[in-house]
């Protein structure tokens, strides 16, 4: 069997769902479990309604919910024969009664608590999965619905829950096979529940993670991530259009690319697939004839030492300097304890005896962090920076990669450099303004000729 995950843009409308149905129908013999995200921007609209309810504007929040109901009904009704509209209304009645109860709870609490965030946000995938399962038969695809909250069991941490893998895999093996005998199985991504049955979520973008967990639990032959691009590219098309499609990459390369900005893949996705040695394929739901990008466990030998240039915008660099701490034991520990205390992850780090520079992309606690650090060191902050990451399994073992990169960037100011923490990346920090020019030069340097076995 295979797992097929479709993102929000792939199920955003009646026309999009019709395309998805045709893709699934062509693969019915492979017994697909279909994982869907919320339709279009539904999650954003749900959370906007929750914020309104928390601010005391319950009427506006309920109006927003009603508009969402009308949107879902309009798109799905267009796909169904008249005699199936009562079934559609039954799904909508159930889910929007639950949503209105969640918004009322938010209003009464005057806050979107983590538990209420999960409960409210979960309605996007609860709706899309139930409605896509309802629409598929009318489009020639026999289908059954599986509520992800019955199969995917997590700890009790809300908004970014961690799966309890052994229990989850057992539930998938129990629940999915009987349904797969009857046709495609449709499940919502992103959502789960605790052992006590309380709704949890895996974090924004977690539908990819859901698909990988389902695939690992069911020993799938392949996990397919259907999105709106032809696969993973040699550069981020939002920064520099015209990148070439990568035919095959390793799991390790894909993880680096995802973490440093390749939005077609959630960084956590590769973990369950890697552990079970299940290949992952990135495909385009608007261009299904293209073979996409295949992600495999083995190292992919290539004539190009760099497979892709990943980018992460909106980075802030924090410089920490203290002559008093020269060679002092525990200086780094004290620094990172501050970031840990304020739950702020660090991307890149560069050190000397008396100074540390590091990058962050979450600045919600930056004032508190700098105040704490100022007790032990001089602190300066530079915003508006970008990380550029050259990714490739062969980077460390190929002579001259760094010299080629720095020659290409010879007249661009580089704020930080990192190589060695990972075998497969070379990262630099430049200003946001210099990002496109830097990526363009690096792309010309490393991809002027391509290994046809690895790139399309």
What do you get for the CA distance between the two ends of the chain, in Å?
27
The domain total for the chain is 2
How far, in Å, CA of 313 to CA of 75, rounded? 35
* pLDDT tens sequence for the chain (456 residues): 999 999 999 999 999 999 999 999 999 999 999 999 999 999 999 999 999 999 999 999 999 999 999 999 999 999 999 999 999 999 999 999 999 999 999 999 999 999 999 999 999 999 999 999 999 999 999 999 999 999 999 999 999 999 999 999 999 999 999 999 999 999 999 999 999 999 999 987 789 999 999 999 999 999 999 988 899 999 988 899 989 999 999 988 888 888 777 667 776 777 898 889 999 999 999 899 999 999 998 888 899 999 999 999 999 999 998 876 655 677 888 899 999 999 999 988 988 777 899 999 999 999 999 999 999 899 999 999 999 999 998 888 888 999 999 999 999 999 998 876 667 889 999 999 999 999 999 999 999 999 999 999
Asked if residue 49 belongs to a domain, the reply is yes
CATH number where 399 lies = 3.30.2130.10
Asked if residue 236 belongs to a domain, the reply is no
CATH number where 100 lies = 3.40.1160.10
The single residue listed with the structure tokens 């395309």 is 19
Domain that holds residue 339: 308-446
Asked if residue 413 belongs to a domain, the reply is yes
Asked if residue 264 belongs to a domain, the reply is no
Same structural domain, 220 and 316? no
What global pTM score does this model have? 0.86
Asked if residue 425 belongs to a domain, the reply is yes
How far, in Å, CA of 292 to CA of 43, rounded? 27
Please identify, among 227, 254, 269, the residue that sits at the C-terminal boundary of a domain.
227
Determine contact, residues 326/342, Cβ cutoff 8 Å: no
How far, in Å, CA of 256 to CA of 218, rounded? 26
Please identify, among 227, 252, 284, the residue that sits at the C-terminal boundary of a domain.
227
How far, in Å, CA of 186 to CA of 201, rounded? 18
Same structural domain, 206 and 334? no
> If you ran DSSP here, which 8-state letter would residue 235 be given?
B
Please identify, among 212, 227, 242, the residue that sits at the C-terminal boundary of a domain.
227
Determine contact, residues 208/270, Cβ cutoff 8 Å: no
Asked if residue 174 belongs to a domain, the reply is yes
How far, in Å, CA of 27 to CA of 15, rounded? 19
């Amino acid at each position: 069997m295979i797992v097929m995950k479709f993102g929000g843009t792939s199920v955003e409308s009646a026309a999009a769902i019709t395309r998805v149905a045709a893709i699934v129908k062509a693969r019915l013999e492979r017994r697909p479990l279909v994982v869907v995200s919320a339709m279009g921007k539904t999650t954003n609209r749900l959370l906007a309604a929750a914020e309104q309810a928390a601010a005391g504007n319950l009427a506006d929040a309920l109006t927003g919910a009603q508009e969402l109901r009308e949107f879902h009904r309009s798109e799905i009704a267009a796909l169904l024969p008249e005699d199936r509209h009562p079934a559609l209304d039954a799904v909508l009645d159930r889910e929007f009664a639950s949503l209105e109860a969640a918004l009322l709870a938010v209003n009464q609490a005057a806050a979107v608590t983590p538990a209420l965030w999960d409960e409210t946000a979960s309605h996007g995938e609860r709706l899309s999965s139930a409605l896509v399962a309802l629409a598929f038969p009318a489009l020639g695809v026999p289908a059954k619905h599986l509520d992800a909250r019955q199969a995917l069991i997590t700890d009790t941490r809300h908004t970014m829950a961690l799966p309890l893998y052994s229990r989850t895999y057992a539930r998938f093996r129990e629940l999915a096979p009987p349904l797969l005998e009857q046709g495609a199985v449709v499940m919502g991504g992103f959502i789960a529940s605790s052992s006590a049955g309380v709704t949890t979520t895996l974090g924004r973008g977690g539908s990819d993670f859901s698909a990988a967990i389902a695939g690992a639990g069911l020993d799938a032959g392949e996990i397919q991530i259907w999105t709106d691009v032809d696969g993973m590219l040699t550069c981020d098309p939002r920064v520099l259009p015209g990148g070439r499609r990568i035919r095959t990459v390793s799991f390790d390369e894909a993880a680096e690319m995802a973490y440093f900005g390749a939005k077609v893949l959630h960084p956590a996705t590769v973990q369950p697939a890697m552990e079970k040695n299940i290949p992952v394929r990135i495909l385009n739901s608007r261009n299904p004839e293209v073979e996409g990008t295949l992600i495999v466990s083995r190292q992919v030998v290539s004539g190009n030492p760099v497979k892709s240039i990943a980018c992460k915008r909106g980075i802030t660099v924090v410089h920490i300097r203290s002559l008093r701490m020269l060679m002092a034991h525990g200086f780094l520990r004290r620094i990172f304890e501050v970031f840990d205390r304020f739950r702020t992850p660090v991307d890149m780090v560069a050190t000397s005896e008396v100074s540390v520079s590091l990058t962050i992309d979450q600045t919600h606690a930056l004032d508190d962090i700098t105040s704490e650090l100022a007790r032990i060191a001089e602190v300066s902050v530079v915003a508006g920076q970008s990380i550029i990451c050259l990714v490739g399994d062969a980077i460390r073992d190929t002579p001259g990669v760094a010299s080629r990169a720095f020659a290409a960037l010879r007249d661009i100011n580089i704020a930080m450099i990192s190589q060695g923490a990972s075998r497969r990346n070379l990262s630099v920090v430049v200003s946001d303004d210099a990002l496109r020019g830097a990526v363009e030069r690096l792309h010309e340097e490393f991809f002027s000729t391509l290994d046809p076995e690895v790139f399309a």
